[in-house]
Structure 1
Amino acid sequence: MTEWKTYGRRRVYESPWVELWLDDVEIPGVGRVDHHVVRMPKACTTAVVTDDAGRFLLLYRHRFITGQWGWEVPAGWAEPGEEPAAAAAREVEEETGWRPGRVEPLIGFNAMSGISTMRFHAFHMTGCTRIGEPADRSEASRVEWVAEEDVVELLAAGEVPEGASLAALSFFLGPYRSARRRRGSAG
């Protein structure tokens, strides 16, 4: 299959958080169509935060758009000129009241490749220090350290319905850990 060809684009809506465009594209075997594209002008960040006891720092919150309650990892936007790692650390502090010590890249992923430019930069954070209550109390109804076996159960039960949280936690618990074990045993 060949790549889609783009002939032009028209902005339909714009805000500081999201842009909606109609792209004039040619789809091989289909022809030319207007394709909706959601563009995100700011980088998206998320963080898997763990402690020395193997617990995960999670938020329990309601998302009005989907009408669902669920567990999530801290996440947010990078401001213009702000590095994604710094933005993720800032979001952890604002949303949880815990300041990360060590921040390391985990994975980058496209959240909705078929319709959006939304790309998440996920990080693993450790060595957190409690600095007080969350600065943004509207982010979650609860902030808790959750044991790893409980996180796995939450994932399996569909209690982590938000995509970035699901992807970051699943990647951390699976491929990331597996690769670290292989590197550790080889070195």
Structure 2
Amino acid sequence: MPTPELPRADETNPWVRLSGSIKYRNRWMTLREDQVLRPDGQRGIYGVVEAAAATGVVALTPEQEVVLVGQYRYSTGRYSWEIVEGGAEPGETPLAAVQRELLEEAGLEAARWTPIPGEFQMSNCFTAELGYLFVAQDLRQVAQPTPEGTEQLTLARIPLRDALALIDRGVISDAVSVIGLLRAARMLAAGELQAGDARSE
């Protein structure tokens, strides 16, 4: 299939950063405020949240079931069903981070890891944080889940098709999970993912 074309656009940066200062910092994020010249030439400010890479994994069984994690999200005040997710620690690669999260949250390891192509912009109006997604297959239960003290998790395995239906109904609304599940389904349909468990072949 040919790659669709978009209209030509001037992709040069119309913003001018004059200066910046750190307004807040903790273990997980930094809030920076920049003095800028806006695209219209007027002076202004722009707040940017800096954070380590976000990661997520669609853990897929040979029966095409996916592992979901349910938890209450403090920032939104809502319960959320999601794929396994987490942020990278300093110096940690996205793959190493998501492998650690899969073990901590679900007690699982995987023999086969496939990156979902692309760097995903988490919320590009106020953060430079990028997300990295993977599909994990040939899963093996190696331990009991050991979530962090900030996490009270419920684990579920449901057919991928049911997860897609929950996206359509708005039950799964976490952006990383929506992207990961939809992309994984397309990759599976296109033959880009192993259909079964390699250990059974």
TM-score normalised by L of structure 2: 0.82
Where does residue 121 of structure 2 map in the other structure? Answer: 110
Matched-pair contact (CA < 8 Å) for 2:103–2:143: no
| Distance (Å, rounded) in 1 between the aligned partners of 2:179 and 2:114 | 17
Partner of 2:103: 93
1:184 corresponds in structure 2 to none
> Which of 39, 62, 65 pairs up with 2:75?
65
Match of 2:17 in 1: 6
CA contact (8 A) 2:71 2:80 kept: yes
How far off its partner does 1:173 sit?
2.1
CA distance in 1, matches of 2:143, 2:48: 40
Structure 1 residues not aligned, in runs of 5+: 182-187
Tell me the matched-pair count: 179
Task: Give the drift of 1:114.
Answer: 1.4
Deviation at 1:49, TM superposition (A): 0.9
For 2:188 and 2:125, locate their aligned partners in 1 and report how far apart those are by CA, in whole Å. Answer: 29
Paired AA for residue 168 in structure 2: A
Higher-helix-fraction structure: 1
Instruction: Give distance in 2, aligned partners of 1:137 and 1:16.
Output: 15
Task: Work out the CA distance in 2 between the residues paired with 1:148 and 1:17.
Answer: 31
- Kindly state the Cα deviation for residue 30 of structure 1 after the two structures are TM-superposed: 5.2
**C-alpha distance in 2 between matches for 1:178 and 1:109:** 21
The C-alpha deviation readout for 1:91-128, integer Å capped at 9, x for no partner, is: 01100111122112113201011110111111111111
Matches of 1:172 and 1:32, distance apart in 2: 44
In structure 1, how many angstroms separate the alpha carbons of the residues matched to 2:173 and 2:75?
A: 12
Percent of aligned positions that are identical: 26
Of 104-113 and 129-138, deviating more is: 129-138
Deviates most, 5-14 or 141-150: 141-150
Amino acid at match of 1:62: Y
Return 5+ residue gaps in structure 2 as ranges. 1-9, 193-201
- Which residue number corresponds to residue 149 of structure 1? 161
Q: CA-atom RMSD, angstroms?
A: 1.8
2:122 and 2:45 mapped to 1: Cα distance?
21
Name the CA shift for 1:149/1:16 in 2 (closer, same or farther; >3 Å): same
